[in-house]
Structure 1
Amino acid sequence: MTPKEKLITVKEGEDQEVVKSLMYKHRIEKILVLDSKNRLVGLITMKDIEKSIDYPLASRDAEGRLMVGAAVGVGKNLEERAENLAQAGVDVFIIDSAHGDSEGVIKVLKFLKRNIQILTLLLEMLQQKMALSSYRIWADAIKVGVGPGLFVQQESLLELGCLNYQQS
Protein backbone atom coordinates (compact mmCIF):
# COMPACT_ATOMS: atom_id res chain seq x y z
CA MET A 1 0.00 0.00 0.00
CA THR A 2 1.22 3.52 -0.78
CA PRO A 3 2.10 5.51 2.37
CA LYS A 4 -0.05 8.60 2.96
CA GLU A 5 2.84 11.03 2.44
CA LYS A 6 3.48 9.62 -1.06
CA LEU A 7 -0.12 9.90 -2.27
CA ILE A 8 -0.80 12.39 -5.06
CA THR A 9 -4.01 14.27 -4.26
CA VAL A 10 -5.96 17.36 -5.28
CA LYS A 11 -8.42 19.49 -3.36
CA GLU A 12 -12.11 19.34 -4.17
CA GLY A 13 -13.00 21.76 -6.98
CA GLU A 14 -9.50 21.87 -8.46
CA ASP A 15 -9.24 23.02 -12.07
CA GLN A 16 -9.23 20.19 -14.62
CA GLU A 17 -6.00 21.42 -16.24
CA VAL A 18 -4.19 21.34 -12.88
CA VAL A 19 -5.43 17.80 -12.25
CA LYS A 20 -4.36 16.70 -15.73
CA SER A 21 -0.89 18.22 -15.39
CA LEU A 22 -0.36 16.48 -12.03
CA MET A 23 -1.37 13.17 -13.55
CA TYR A 24 1.06 13.63 -16.44
CA LYS A 25 3.85 14.80 -14.13
CA HIS A 26 3.54 11.78 -11.83
CA ARG A 27 2.60 9.34 -14.61
CA ILE A 28 -0.60 8.22 -12.91
CA GLU A 29 -4.05 7.53 -14.32
CA LYS A 30 -6.01 8.10 -11.10
CA ILE A 31 -5.86 10.87 -8.52
CA LEU A 32 -7.58 11.19 -5.13
CA VAL A 33 -9.79 14.17 -4.35
CA LEU A 34 -9.77 15.51 -0.76
CA ASP A 35 -12.03 18.01 0.98
CA SER A 36 -10.86 20.88 3.21
CA LYS A 37 -10.47 18.45 6.16
CA ASN A 38 -8.33 16.07 4.07
CA ARG A 39 -11.07 13.47 3.84
CA LEU A 40 -11.40 11.44 0.67
CA VAL A 41 -14.41 12.65 -1.34
CA GLY A 42 -13.67 11.32 -4.80
CA LEU A 43 -11.42 9.87 -7.43
CA ILE A 44 -10.65 11.34 -10.85
CA THR A 45 -9.34 9.15 -13.63
CA MET A 46 -7.67 10.17 -16.87
CA LYS A 47 -10.63 8.51 -18.61
CA ASP A 48 -12.97 10.92 -16.74
CA ILE A 49 -11.01 13.88 -18.08
CA GLU A 50 -10.94 12.48 -21.62
CA LYS A 51 -14.68 11.86 -21.59
CA SER A 52 -15.44 15.36 -20.30
CA ILE A 53 -13.44 16.73 -23.25
CA ASP A 54 -14.92 14.31 -25.81
CA TYR A 55 -18.51 14.81 -24.58
CA PRO A 56 -18.81 18.40 -23.33
CA LEU A 57 -22.61 18.41 -23.72
CA ALA A 58 -23.25 15.30 -21.60
CA SER A 59 -26.11 15.87 -19.15
CA ARG A 60 -24.75 16.39 -15.65
CA ASP A 61 -26.39 17.13 -12.32
CA ALA A 62 -25.55 20.01 -9.97
CA GLU A 63 -22.60 18.02 -8.58
CA GLY A 64 -21.14 17.36 -12.03
CA ARG A 65 -22.14 13.69 -12.13
CA LEU A 66 -23.66 12.16 -15.27
CA MET A 67 -27.44 12.17 -15.04
CA VAL A 68 -29.08 8.76 -14.77
CA GLY A 69 -32.53 7.58 -15.79
CA ALA A 70 -34.33 4.40 -14.78
CA ALA A 71 -37.22 2.64 -16.48
CA VAL A 72 -39.99 1.43 -14.20
CA GLY A 73 -42.91 -0.72 -15.18
CA VAL A 74 -46.27 -1.27 -13.57
CA GLY A 75 -45.40 -4.64 -12.01
CA LYS A 76 -44.89 -5.79 -8.46
CA ASN A 77 -42.50 -4.04 -6.06
CA LEU A 78 -42.71 -0.75 -7.95
CA GLU A 79 -42.82 1.36 -4.78
CA GLU A 80 -39.79 -0.32 -3.21
CA ARG A 81 -37.83 -0.26 -6.48
CA ALA A 82 -38.62 3.41 -7.14
CA GLU A 83 -37.66 4.42 -3.61
CA ASN A 84 -34.36 2.50 -3.85
CA LEU A 85 -33.59 4.11 -7.21
CA ALA A 86 -34.37 7.56 -5.81
CA GLN A 87 -32.06 6.97 -2.84
CA ALA A 88 -29.34 5.84 -5.26
CA GLY A 89 -29.63 9.21 -7.02
CA VAL A 90 -31.63 8.56 -10.19
CA ASP A 91 -32.49 11.83 -11.98
CA VAL A 92 -35.46 10.76 -14.11
CA PHE A 93 -38.00 7.94 -14.17
CA ILE A 94 -39.27 6.57 -17.46
CA ILE A 95 -42.54 4.71 -17.21
CA ASP A 96 -42.03 1.85 -19.62
CA SER A 97 -45.31 0.45 -20.88
CA ALA A 98 -46.82 -0.37 -24.25
CA HIS A 99 -50.04 1.38 -23.22
CA GLY A 100 -49.30 4.72 -21.61
CA ASP A 101 -52.93 5.50 -20.86
CA SER A 102 -53.71 2.31 -18.92
CA GLU A 103 -54.98 2.43 -15.36
CA GLY A 104 -51.77 0.80 -14.08
CA VAL A 105 -49.55 3.40 -15.74
CA ILE A 106 -51.63 6.28 -14.42
CA LYS A 107 -51.45 4.75 -10.92
CA VAL A 108 -47.64 4.50 -11.21
CA LEU A 109 -47.38 8.07 -12.47
CA LYS A 110 -49.44 9.40 -9.57
CA PHE A 111 -47.40 7.39 -7.05
CA LEU A 112 -44.08 8.68 -8.43
CA LYS A 113 -45.17 12.30 -8.51
CA ARG A 114 -46.79 12.27 -5.05
CA ASN A 115 -44.19 10.24 -3.19
CA ILE A 116 -40.86 10.42 -4.99
CA GLN A 117 -41.07 13.76 -6.84
CA ILE A 118 -38.43 13.10 -9.48
CA LEU A 119 -38.78 14.10 -13.13
CA THR A 120 -41.03 11.55 -14.84
CA LEU A 121 -41.28 10.74 -18.56
CA LEU A 122 -44.26 8.78 -19.82
CA LEU A 123 -43.82 6.66 -22.96
CA GLU A 124 -46.12 5.29 -25.67
CA MET A 125 -49.11 7.58 -25.96
CA LEU A 126 -51.31 6.66 -28.92
CA GLN A 127 -53.13 9.94 -29.43
CA GLN A 128 -53.07 13.56 -28.42
CA LYS A 129 -56.15 13.15 -26.18
CA MET A 130 -54.41 10.48 -24.08
CA ALA A 131 -51.23 12.51 -23.92
CA LEU A 132 -53.03 15.61 -22.67
CA SER A 133 -54.90 13.71 -19.96
CA SER A 134 -51.64 12.13 -18.77
CA TYR A 135 -49.88 15.48 -18.81
CA ARG A 136 -52.62 16.89 -16.60
CA ILE A 137 -51.90 14.25 -13.97
CA TRP A 138 -48.31 15.44 -13.60
CA ALA A 139 -46.22 13.75 -16.28
CA ASP A 140 -43.23 16.04 -16.81
CA ALA A 141 -42.78 14.86 -20.40
CA ILE A 142 -44.51 12.47 -22.77
CA LYS A 143 -43.75 10.60 -25.99
CA VAL A 144 -46.66 10.48 -28.39
CA GLY A 145 -46.81 7.59 -30.83
CA VAL A 146 -46.15 3.89 -30.71
CA GLY A 147 -43.03 2.40 -32.19
CA PRO A 148 -42.20 -1.25 -32.65
CA GLY A 149 -41.25 -3.30 -29.65
CA LEU A 150 -38.91 -6.26 -29.74
CA PHE A 151 -41.10 -8.51 -27.60
CA VAL A 152 -44.43 -6.68 -27.79
CA GLN A 153 -45.80 -6.73 -31.31
CA GLN A 154 -47.87 -3.58 -30.88
CA GLU A 155 -48.48 -2.87 -34.55
CA SER A 156 -49.77 -6.37 -35.30
CA LEU A 157 -52.00 -6.66 -32.25
CA LEU A 158 -53.43 -3.16 -32.31
CA GLU A 159 -53.22 -2.61 -36.07
CA LEU A 160 -51.62 0.74 -35.45
CA GLY A 161 -48.23 2.16 -34.80
CA CYS A 162 -45.32 3.34 -36.82
CA LEU A 163 -42.96 0.80 -38.28
CA ASN A 164 -39.36 1.95 -37.87
CA TYR A 165 -36.67 0.81 -40.27
CA GLN A 166 -33.67 -0.68 -38.52
CA GLN A 167 -30.62 -1.77 -40.45
CA SER A 168 -28.62 -4.61 -38.94
Structure 2
Amino acid sequence: MRPVPKCASAGHNFEQLAAFLADEKLELAPIAADDGEVLDLVTDEIVQRIRSYPKLGSPSLGPDGRFLVGAAIGTREDDKERLEHLVKAGANVIVIDSSQGNSTYQIDMIRYAKSRFPGLDVIGGNVVTMAQAHNLIKAGVDGLRVGMGSGSICTTQEVCAVGRGQASAVYKVASVAKDYDVPIIADGGISNSGHIVKALVLGASTVMMGSFLAGSHEAPGVYEDQGGSRVKKYRGMGSLEAMTKGSDARYLGDTLKLKVAQGVVGTVADKGSVLKFVPYTMQAVKQGFQDLGASSLLSAHNLLRSGELRFEVRTGAAQAEGGVHGLVSYEKKPF
Protein backbone atom coordinates (compact mmCIF):
# COMPACT_ATOMS: atom_id res chain seq x y z
CA MET A 1 0.00 0.00 0.00
CA ARG A 2 1.37 3.39 -0.99
CA PRO A 3 1.80 5.95 1.80
CA VAL A 4 -0.38 9.05 1.61
CA PRO A 5 1.80 11.96 0.43
CA LYS A 6 2.22 14.95 2.69
CA CYS A 7 0.03 17.80 1.47
CA ALA A 8 0.39 21.54 1.81
CA SER A 9 -2.66 23.55 2.82
CA ALA A 10 -4.54 25.58 0.21
CA GLY A 11 -4.60 28.40 2.76
CA HIS A 12 -0.81 28.78 2.74
CA ASN A 13 0.77 31.77 1.04
CA PHE A 14 3.86 31.49 -1.14
CA GLU A 15 6.42 31.73 1.67
CA GLN A 16 4.54 29.15 3.75
CA LEU A 17 4.49 26.74 0.80
CA ALA A 18 8.23 27.25 0.29
CA ALA A 19 8.87 26.64 3.99
CA PHE A 20 6.71 23.49 3.91
CA LEU A 21 8.82 22.00 1.12
CA ALA A 22 12.05 22.92 2.90
CA ASP A 23 10.96 21.64 6.32
CA GLU A 24 9.66 18.35 4.94
CA LYS A 25 12.67 18.01 2.58
CA LEU A 26 10.34 17.54 -0.40
CA GLU A 27 10.87 18.39 -4.06
CA LEU A 28 7.12 18.52 -4.67
CA ALA A 29 3.88 18.33 -2.72
CA PRO A 30 0.15 18.41 -3.49
CA ILE A 31 -1.83 21.44 -2.34
CA ALA A 32 -5.07 20.22 -0.77
CA ALA A 33 -8.26 21.83 0.51
CA ASP A 34 -9.59 21.13 3.99
CA ASP A 35 -11.76 18.30 2.63
CA GLY A 36 -8.71 16.60 1.11
CA GLU A 37 -9.38 17.59 -2.51
CA VAL A 38 -6.10 18.11 -4.35
CA LEU A 39 -6.18 21.55 -5.99
CA ASP A 40 -2.66 22.01 -7.30
CA LEU A 41 0.94 20.90 -7.10
CA VAL A 42 3.84 22.95 -5.79
CA THR A 43 7.43 22.04 -6.62
CA ASP A 44 10.79 23.30 -5.50
CA GLU A 45 11.48 24.26 -9.12
CA ILE A 46 8.41 26.53 -9.14
CA VAL A 47 9.48 28.14 -5.86
CA GLN A 48 12.94 28.93 -7.20
CA ARG A 49 11.51 30.23 -10.47
CA ILE A 50 9.10 32.63 -8.75
CA ARG A 51 11.84 33.88 -6.45
CA SER A 52 14.04 34.62 -9.43
CA TYR A 53 11.44 36.96 -10.94
CA PRO A 54 11.60 40.68 -10.17
CA LYS A 55 9.37 41.71 -7.29
CA LEU A 56 5.90 42.94 -8.15
CA GLY A 57 5.22 46.65 -7.92
CA SER A 58 3.78 48.32 -4.86
CA PRO A 59 -0.02 48.37 -4.58
CA SER A 60 -1.88 51.47 -5.75
CA LEU A 61 -2.86 53.41 -2.65
CA GLY A 62 -4.84 56.58 -2.19
CA PRO A 63 -3.93 59.57 0.02
CA ASP A 64 -5.61 57.81 2.94
CA GLY A 65 -3.35 54.78 2.57
CA ARG A 66 -6.18 52.53 1.40
CA PHE A 67 -6.28 50.57 -1.84
CA LEU A 68 -7.56 52.46 -4.87
CA VAL A 69 -10.84 50.87 -5.95
CA GLY A 70 -12.79 51.23 -9.18
CA ALA A 71 -16.39 50.27 -9.90
CA ALA A 72 -18.66 50.27 -12.93
CA ILE A 73 -22.03 51.81 -13.64
CA GLY A 74 -24.26 51.96 -16.70
CA THR A 75 -26.00 54.90 -18.31
CA ARG A 76 -29.55 54.35 -17.02
CA GLU A 77 -31.35 56.64 -14.60
CA ASP A 78 -31.11 54.11 -11.76
CA ASP A 79 -27.33 54.05 -12.20
CA LYS A 80 -27.23 57.49 -10.58
CA GLU A 81 -28.35 55.87 -7.34
CA ARG A 82 -25.72 53.16 -7.81
CA LEU A 83 -23.12 55.91 -8.29
CA GLU A 84 -24.08 57.48 -4.97
CA HIS A 85 -23.71 54.17 -3.12
CA LEU A 86 -20.37 53.36 -4.76
CA VAL A 87 -18.82 56.71 -3.90
CA LYS A 88 -20.17 56.44 -0.36
CA ALA A 89 -18.57 52.98 -0.11
CA GLY A 90 -15.20 54.48 -1.05
CA ALA A 91 -14.82 53.99 -4.80
CA ASN A 92 -12.02 56.16 -6.20
CA VAL A 93 -12.74 55.61 -9.90
CA ILE A 94 -15.99 55.05 -11.77
CA VAL A 95 -16.08 53.31 -15.14
CA ILE A 96 -19.12 54.00 -17.29
CA ASP A 97 -19.65 50.64 -18.92
CA SER A 98 -21.08 50.71 -22.43
CA SER A 99 -20.30 48.88 -25.65
CA GLN A 100 -20.65 52.19 -27.56
CA GLY A 101 -19.50 55.08 -25.45
CA ASN A 102 -20.27 57.97 -27.79
CA SER A 103 -23.94 58.29 -26.88
CA THR A 104 -26.06 61.03 -25.37
CA TYR A 105 -26.75 58.70 -22.45
CA GLN A 106 -23.08 58.35 -21.56
CA ILE A 107 -22.28 62.01 -22.13
CA ASP A 108 -25.13 62.97 -19.78
CA MET A 109 -23.91 60.45 -17.17
CA ILE A 110 -20.34 61.79 -17.37
CA ARG A 111 -21.57 65.34 -16.83
CA TYR A 112 -23.78 64.25 -13.94
CA ALA A 113 -21.00 62.30 -12.23
CA LYS A 114 -18.46 65.13 -12.58
CA SER A 115 -20.91 67.76 -11.35
CA ARG A 116 -22.05 65.61 -8.42
CA PHE A 117 -18.54 64.47 -7.45
CA PRO A 118 -15.95 66.88 -8.97
CA GLY A 119 -12.99 65.03 -7.44
CA LEU A 120 -14.08 61.63 -8.75
CA ASP A 121 -12.18 60.13 -11.68
CA VAL A 122 -14.53 58.95 -14.42
CA ILE A 123 -13.47 56.59 -17.21
CA GLY A 124 -15.65 56.61 -20.33
CA GLY A 125 -15.94 54.41 -23.38
CA ASN A 126 -15.73 52.32 -25.29
CA VAL A 127 -14.60 54.41 -28.27
CA VAL A 128 -12.50 53.77 -31.37
CA THR A 129 -12.41 57.07 -33.28
CA MET A 130 -11.00 60.54 -32.73
CA ALA A 131 -14.47 62.13 -32.94
CA GLN A 132 -15.89 59.77 -30.32
CA ALA A 133 -12.98 60.45 -28.00
CA HIS A 134 -13.30 64.21 -28.44
CA ASN A 135 -16.98 64.17 -27.45
CA LEU A 136 -16.32 62.31 -24.21
CA ILE A 137 -13.29 64.45 -23.37
CA LYS A 138 -15.42 67.58 -23.81
CA ALA A 139 -17.97 66.07 -21.42
CA GLY A 140 -15.26 65.88 -18.75
CA VAL A 141 -14.03 62.30 -18.81
CA ASP A 142 -10.72 61.58 -17.04
CA GLY A 143 -9.79 58.43 -18.98
CA LEU A 144 -10.95 56.46 -22.01
CA ARG A 145 -11.40 52.80 -22.80
CA VAL A 146 -10.58 51.97 -26.40
CA GLY A 147 -11.84 48.94 -28.29
CA MET A 148 -14.95 47.75 -30.06
CA GLY A 149 -15.39 44.20 -31.30
CA SER A 150 -11.74 43.26 -30.71
CA GLY A 151 -12.21 40.97 -27.71
CA SER A 152 -11.72 37.23 -28.14
CA ILE A 153 -15.33 36.46 -27.19
CA CYS A 154 -16.89 39.48 -28.94
CA THR A 155 -18.88 39.24 -32.20
CA THR A 156 -19.89 42.91 -32.53
CA GLN A 157 -17.96 43.42 -35.77
CA GLU A 158 -19.53 40.32 -37.29
CA VAL A 159 -23.10 40.90 -36.08
CA CYS A 160 -23.34 44.69 -36.24
CA ALA A 161 -20.56 45.57 -38.71
CA VAL A 162 -19.32 48.11 -36.17
CA GLY A 163 -15.82 48.32 -34.73
CA ARG A 164 -12.22 48.89 -35.68
CA GLY A 165 -8.86 47.19 -35.70
CA GLN A 166 -7.45 47.63 -32.21
CA ALA A 167 -4.06 49.00 -33.25
CA SER A 168 -5.69 51.69 -35.41
CA ALA A 169 -8.20 52.53 -32.69
CA VAL A 170 -5.56 52.93 -29.99
CA TYR A 171 -3.32 55.06 -32.21
CA LYS A 172 -6.10 57.38 -33.41
CA VAL A 173 -7.73 57.90 -30.02
CA ALA A 174 -4.35 58.45 -28.35
CA SER A 175 -3.51 61.15 -30.89
CA VAL A 176 -6.47 63.17 -29.58
CA ALA A 177 -6.32 62.21 -25.90
CA LYS A 178 -2.68 63.28 -25.52
CA ASP A 179 -3.60 66.91 -26.21
CA TYR A 180 -5.84 66.87 -23.13
CA ASP A 181 -3.60 64.69 -20.95
CA VAL A 182 -6.28 62.00 -20.87
CA PRO A 183 -4.87 58.45 -20.52
CA ILE A 184 -6.38 55.62 -22.53
CA ILE A 185 -6.90 51.94 -21.82
CA ALA A 186 -6.50 49.41 -24.62
CA ASP A 187 -9.49 47.12 -24.05
CA GLY A 188 -9.40 43.95 -26.17
CA GLY A 189 -7.06 42.18 -28.54
CA ILE A 190 -4.47 41.29 -25.88
CA SER A 191 -3.45 37.64 -25.98
CA ASN A 192 0.31 37.80 -25.37
CA SER A 193 3.05 40.09 -24.06
CA GLY A 194 3.86 41.31 -27.58
CA HIS A 195 0.34 42.72 -27.92
CA ILE A 196 0.82 44.62 -24.67
CA VAL A 197 4.03 46.19 -25.98
CA LYS A 198 2.28 47.24 -29.20
CA ALA A 199 -0.69 48.74 -27.37
CA LEU A 200 1.48 50.74 -24.97
CA VAL A 201 3.80 52.01 -27.69
CA LEU A 202 0.82 53.03 -29.85
CA GLY A 203 -0.33 55.40 -27.11
CA ALA A 204 -2.13 53.40 -24.43
CA SER A 205 -1.24 53.95 -20.79
CA THR A 206 -2.50 50.54 -19.71
CA VAL A 207 -4.29 47.48 -21.06
CA MET A 208 -7.32 45.44 -20.06
CA MET A 209 -7.08 41.67 -20.32
CA GLY A 210 -9.94 39.19 -20.37
CA SER A 211 -9.06 35.86 -21.96
CA PHE A 212 -5.41 36.42 -21.07
CA LEU A 213 -6.27 36.02 -17.37
CA ALA A 214 -9.46 33.97 -17.61
CA GLY A 215 -7.70 30.60 -17.47
CA SER A 216 -5.78 31.38 -14.29
CA HIS A 217 -6.44 29.77 -10.91
CA GLU A 218 -7.50 33.13 -9.50
CA ALA A 219 -10.13 33.84 -12.20
CA PRO A 220 -13.81 33.13 -11.42
CA GLY A 221 -15.27 29.80 -12.46
CA VAL A 222 -14.50 26.14 -11.98
CA TYR A 223 -12.20 23.96 -14.03
CA GLU A 224 -13.69 21.35 -16.34
CA ASP A 225 -12.22 18.50 -18.36
CA GLN A 226 -12.68 18.93 -22.11
CA GLY A 227 -11.19 16.21 -24.25
CA GLY A 228 -8.41 15.60 -21.78
CA SER A 229 -7.60 19.30 -21.37
CA ARG A 230 -8.24 21.34 -18.23
CA VAL A 231 -10.33 24.39 -19.14
CA LYS A 232 -12.43 27.13 -17.59
CA LYS A 233 -15.66 28.59 -18.92
CA TYR A 234 -15.36 32.09 -20.36
CA ARG A 235 -18.30 34.10 -21.64
CA GLY A 236 -18.70 37.40 -23.40
CA MET A 237 -20.87 40.04 -21.75
CA GLY A 238 -22.71 40.30 -25.06
CA SER A 239 -23.57 36.59 -25.13
CA LEU A 240 -27.17 35.53 -24.62
CA GLU A 241 -26.17 33.68 -21.45
CA ALA A 242 -24.70 36.82 -19.91
CA MET A 243 -27.61 38.95 -21.09
CA THR A 244 -30.04 36.77 -19.17
CA LYS A 245 -27.96 37.54 -16.07
CA GLY A 246 -28.30 41.31 -16.45
CA SER A 247 -25.67 42.50 -18.92
CA ASP A 248 -28.23 43.37 -21.61
CA ALA A 249 -28.41 47.02 -20.50
CA ARG A 250 -24.81 47.41 -21.68
CA TYR A 251 -25.96 46.58 -25.21
CA LEU A 252 -29.15 48.69 -25.17
CA GLY A 253 -31.24 45.54 -25.12
CA ASP A 254 -32.78 45.35 -21.65
CA THR A 255 -36.20 46.48 -22.92
CA LEU A 256 -36.20 44.40 -26.09
CA LYS A 257 -37.96 41.05 -26.29
CA LEU A 258 -35.64 39.93 -29.07
CA LYS A 259 -32.05 40.23 -27.91
CA VAL A 260 -29.14 40.35 -30.36
CA ALA A 261 -26.09 38.51 -29.09
CA GLN A 262 -22.76 40.28 -29.59
CA GLY A 263 -20.62 37.67 -27.86
CA VAL A 264 -20.10 33.96 -27.37
CA VAL A 265 -19.58 31.49 -24.55
CA GLY A 266 -16.45 29.36 -24.74
CA THR A 267 -13.61 27.87 -22.74
CA VAL A 268 -9.99 28.83 -22.15
CA ALA A 269 -7.07 26.58 -21.28
CA ASP A 270 -5.73 26.34 -17.74
CA LYS A 271 -2.84 28.80 -17.32
CA GLY A 272 -1.97 28.07 -13.72
CA SER A 273 -1.51 30.84 -11.19
CA VAL A 274 -1.03 34.51 -12.03
CA LEU A 275 1.96 34.31 -9.70
CA LYS A 276 3.69 32.41 -12.48
CA PHE A 277 2.75 34.11 -15.73
CA VAL A 278 2.12 37.72 -14.72
CA PRO A 279 5.74 38.31 -13.57
CA TYR A 280 6.89 36.62 -16.79
CA THR A 281 4.63 38.91 -18.82
CA MET A 282 5.87 42.00 -16.99
CA GLN A 283 9.47 41.07 -17.68
CA ALA A 284 8.70 40.36 -21.35
CA VAL A 285 7.13 43.82 -21.74
CA LYS A 286 10.19 45.43 -20.13
CA GLN A 287 12.42 43.49 -22.51
CA GLY A 288 10.36 44.72 -25.45
CA PHE A 289 10.76 48.34 -24.34
CA GLN A 290 14.48 47.82 -23.89
CA ASP A 291 14.82 46.46 -27.43
CA LEU A 292 12.93 49.50 -28.73
CA GLY A 293 15.18 51.90 -26.85
CA ALA A 294 12.39 53.17 -24.60
CA SER A 295 13.18 53.57 -20.90
CA SER A 296 9.62 54.41 -19.86
CA LEU A 297 6.06 54.66 -21.10
CA LEU A 298 6.47 58.38 -21.74
CA SER A 299 9.67 57.87 -23.72
CA ALA A 300 7.94 55.22 -25.86
CA HIS A 301 5.10 57.63 -26.65
CA ASN A 302 7.61 60.36 -27.49
CA LEU A 303 9.50 58.03 -29.84
CA LEU A 304 6.28 57.35 -31.72
CA ARG A 305 5.24 61.01 -31.95
CA SER A 306 8.67 62.09 -33.14
CA GLY A 307 8.59 59.56 -35.96
CA GLU A 308 11.72 57.82 -34.69
CA LEU A 309 9.65 54.74 -33.90
CA ARG A 310 7.70 53.41 -36.86
CA PHE A 311 5.29 50.57 -37.50
CA GLU A 312 5.22 48.42 -40.61
CA VAL A 313 2.55 46.11 -41.99
CA ARG A 314 3.93 42.58 -42.28
CA THR A 315 3.04 40.29 -45.13
CA GLY A 316 1.90 36.75 -44.48
CA ALA A 317 5.38 35.54 -45.42
CA ALA A 318 6.99 37.95 -42.95
CA GLN A 319 4.66 36.80 -40.18
CA ALA A 320 5.53 33.16 -40.87
CA GLU A 321 9.22 34.05 -40.86
CA GLY A 322 8.85 35.90 -37.56
CA GLY A 323 7.36 32.87 -35.85
CA VAL A 324 8.73 29.41 -35.13
CA HIS A 325 9.35 27.69 -38.46
CA GLY A 326 11.42 25.02 -40.17
CA LEU A 327 11.03 22.48 -37.35
CA VAL A 328 9.44 19.04 -37.39
CA SER A 329 8.16 19.58 -33.85
CA TYR A 330 8.84 21.86 -30.91
CA GLU A 331 7.73 22.62 -27.37
CA LYS A 332 6.67 26.17 -26.58
CA LYS A 333 7.37 26.67 -22.89
CA PRO A 334 7.60 30.38 -22.03
CA PHE A 335 8.61 29.88 -18.40
Q: TM-score, normalised by structure 2?
A: 0.32
> Partner residue of 2:142?
140
Equivalent position amino acid for 2:140 in 1: W
Could you tell me which amino acid in structure 1 is paired with residue 97 of structure 2? D
**Aligned-pair CA distance for 1:129:** 1.2
Structure 1 counterpart of 2:157, which letter?
Answer: E
What is the Cα deviation at residue 55 of structure 1?
Answer: 4.7
Instruction: Give 5+ residue unaligned stretches, structure 2.
Output: 1-54, 167-188, 192-210, 213-267, 269-335
Secondary structure of 1:142's aligned partner: strand
Tell me the distance in 2 between the aligned counterparts of 1:150 and 1:78.
28
Determine the C-alpha separation between the residues in 1 that align with 2:99 and 2:123: 14
Compute the displacement of 1:162 (Å): 3.7
Bigger mean CA deviation after superposition, 75-84 or 158-167: 158-167
Structure 1 residue 158, shift from structure 2 partner: 2.7
Secondary structure of 1:87 counterpart: helix
Q: Distance in 2 between matches of 1:159 and 1:132?
A: 19
The AA in structure 1 aligned to 2:89 is A
Q: Which amino acid aligns with 1:97?
A: S
Paired position in structure 2 for 1:100: 101
Unpaired segments of 5 or more residues in structure 1?
Answer: 1-53
Which residue in the other structure is 2:333 paired with?
none
Distance between the aligned counterparts of 1:151 and 1:77, measured in 2?
28
CA–CA separation in structure 2 for the residues paired with 1:102 and 1:86: 24
Deviations 1:100-151 (A, max 9, x none): 1011111111110111221001121120111012101100111233244588
Matched position secondary structure for 2:109: helix
- 1:98·1:154 contact (CA, 8 Å) conserved in 2? no
Q: Are 2:110 and 1:114 aligned?
A: no
Aligned length: 115
SS at match of 1:90: coil
1:77 deviates by 1.2
Identical-pair percentage: 24
Change over 3 Å in CA distance of 1:159–1:150 after alignment to 2? same
Q: CA RMSD in A?
A: 2.3
